[in-house]
Amino acid sequence: MTQQPYTDADLRAEAARQLGALTEDPEFMGVGEQMNGADISSRGPEEDEEGRIDPDAGAWKWDELLDEDQFNAAQRKIHNLITGAADVSQWAIQLGAAGLTPHPAMGWYCTTSGWDTAVQIATHPDLRPDLAAEIQTAVRAAVDNVMASTGCTVTHAEEPTP
């Protein structure tokens, strides 16, 4: 049997490099194309006068709800979010290779300039849910203690936002 001239680590490194490159400079028009027909996550089907929701009704779509100027503004903001995103490609590839699933991120801040620390935990899907929750609680408590020991008033959220 012929030996491969590369390792699994080489494959993961190249996958991470390519994943990172995809988000470094995404094509602006491609962002708009991806928005066409896509649901706006916060705009689900609306209730009728009696408070009922049609089970066949879908969420609002970017290209249906917004006029051209609004769509272009949203497209620009989404493009900027993509190009400004932290490169976690290597971490994402390693998680997938290990069969781990990420949990929602936890974030802390102690200044008025935004979030100071964020942590995301990933566990194997077969890990007992109570053990995964205990690990998340322990990590949150550990970071709370470190932040508090430096004089920060600890504030956190499940998903850090600007």
Q: 80 and 63 in one domain?
A: yes
**Domain residue limits at 103:** 99-162
Q: pTM for this structure?
A: 0.69
Domain endpoint, select from 70, 98, 126: 98
Specify the DSSP element, H or E, that contains 106: strand 106-109
Q: 63 and 13 in one domain?
A: yes
- Residue 73's pLDDT is 93
What's the number of domains the chain is made of?
Answer: 2
d(CA 59, CA 36): 13
d(CA 154, CA 147): 7
Q: 26 and 84 in one domain?
A: yes
Walking along the chain (162 residues) 10 residues at a time, the average pLDDT comes out as 74 82 82 89 78 76 91 92 87 92 85 77 94 93 88 68 54
Q: 88 and 105 in one domain?
A: no
Q: 73 and 15 in one domain?
A: yes
Q: 89 and 73 in one domain?
A: yes
Domain endpoint, select from 98, 121, 140: 98
d(CA 115, CA 112): 8
Angle between helices 28-35 and 68-83 (to 10 degrees): 120
- Residue 157's pLDDT is 60
d(CA 159, CA 5): 41
Which two tokens mark 69? 């100027």
Q: 92 and 12 in one domain?
A: yes
Mark 93-124 as b/e (b = at least 16 C-beta within 10 Å).
Answer: bbbeeeeeeebeebbbbbeeeebeebbbbbbe
Q: 109 and 32 in one domain?
A: no
